[in-house]
Structure 1
Amino acid sequence: MTHQIALSESMRANLAKSSQAHKYGHGHAVILSGGAGQGGAARLAARAALRVGAGLVTIAAPTASFYEQAAQLTAIMLAALPDSYSLRGLLQDERLNALCLGPGLGRKRALEMVPAALWGARATVLDADALTAFDEEPEHLFTQLHERVVLTPHMGEFRRLFPDLADALSAPETPLSHKIEATAKAAKRAGCTVLLKGAETTIADPSGRTALHSATGARAAPWLATAGAGDVLAGLITGLMARGLTPFDAACTGAWLHVEAARAFGPGLIAEDLPEMLPRVFREIGL
């Protein structure tokens, strides 16, 4: 049975922090960055991860963009990450418990870094370039995925990875139940949680659990159709997994917060505004 995502006591409890909390108790998220001039998407994801409550957030950047990133960051930390060998070394530190790959990463860097990240068996979000880099051979990606991964495709990316499932959704008046079913089949095939983005976002995990987040009607947020909004969602989910939420719960909570932040800001929204609205959302739900 598919449940409609809404604020619940369990969600509020997952978001709350103890009065005895310290930064090391809320995880350390690592966001991989792309090359020179491509670092903005990683910064959006990192800002979202930090705002949603990850204790520490680091951007891991290639040498070519290291100083560009350094000039833009304050509370977010920075590490040099020239190659996949370096990523495997970085992941020897078990305190680094959540990863985000894709936003602004670049296809070539994604093909190198994604296998190394999945080797580390951390809670991992794969978005954007980390998905499209494998469009010619999606099975090569699927064989490396594990249950602590969340894939966050929009419909175009979903089609590249799951063309047969996407074909069933191509008719203009396709019932929502078909999208839920396709997402569930994708999660089972990939062996991880899948969040299929849209005004009606569907989420499924390999066990068969499904959820729907509908941003329509009174909850519509059409201004989310802006560059970088998806990078923020990827960062929210990563930050929530760094805090200890399961992939499925992090995906559901991240989708709800994403829309709430957009609705709190309103028309004129750009992606940079989304993380900055989270404190207001948290106050409104009593955190």
Structure 2
Amino acid sequence: MKILLVGCNGQLGWELQRTLPYFGELLSVDFPEIDLSNADSVQSVVTSFKPHVVINAAAYTDVDRAESQPELCMKVNCDGPKFLAEACDQNQSVLVHYSTDYVFSGETDRPYREDDQPGPVSVYAESKLRGEQAIQATFDRFLILRTAWMYSLRASSFLTKVLSWSEKSAEISVVDDQISNPTWARAMAEMTTLMLARLESQAWPASLMGIYHLAGDGYTSRYEWAKAIIEIANQHQVKVNPAKSEDFHTPARRPRFSALDCSKFYQAFDLRLPSWQACLRLSMKK
């Protein structure tokens, strides 16, 4: 099997480069080898390699900066997936694309299911939803994996920010009114590879194509997550204080409760990510 990985230099892409070679022949690309804002560039890469599967781990992920760079954000997160879907359709490839819990408004009291109505509240969130819609409007050989609160020690993430804050201050304040599923990038990459193996063994059934939620098992607030990070890091001298979203003036709004219900993925593939607490401990193990 030939796999094209787009966005290999990102947080998730870096991990996928280490899991996917066990499954097939892998070509990893990123900008400038492929320009997601340019249909010809995307078509050229896909046509020349002729992959069975294209995995799109590339995205514009700076939620706040997107408010002042909406055109660039839309080109990467909306036009890019559309161009990839068109190239995959012509090449008869399967497209695996990652989306986000941020496509939901956060105005709920239970984890979101795949058939819940989206309600993006930021430019970034709107761009990711439009990317999903562009893929769905193009063809049906796709898997869209909505995930949440991706992190790792390798790249800038909430985990690395909390560790940095704890080294500079004896007290940090973290919002307790934003809730979702912390998801370790390495676990997500491993689960993607296992999913592909299941699909390959079943000859890529059309019935398993579609949108799935896949994130760390369980959900928590950023405040509780930060406390867990500090505890595992043995930074017991650092006090973590609860705060509210209104205490921090950011350009983009965040959904308050965007936890994802991943039962559809579990039922389809008989696979489950470990608890977010277990993954956090593993990610910080030295």
Q: TM-score, normalised by structure 2?
A: 0.42
Name which one, 1 or 2, has greater alpha-carbon Rg. Answer: 2
TM-score by length of 1: 0.41
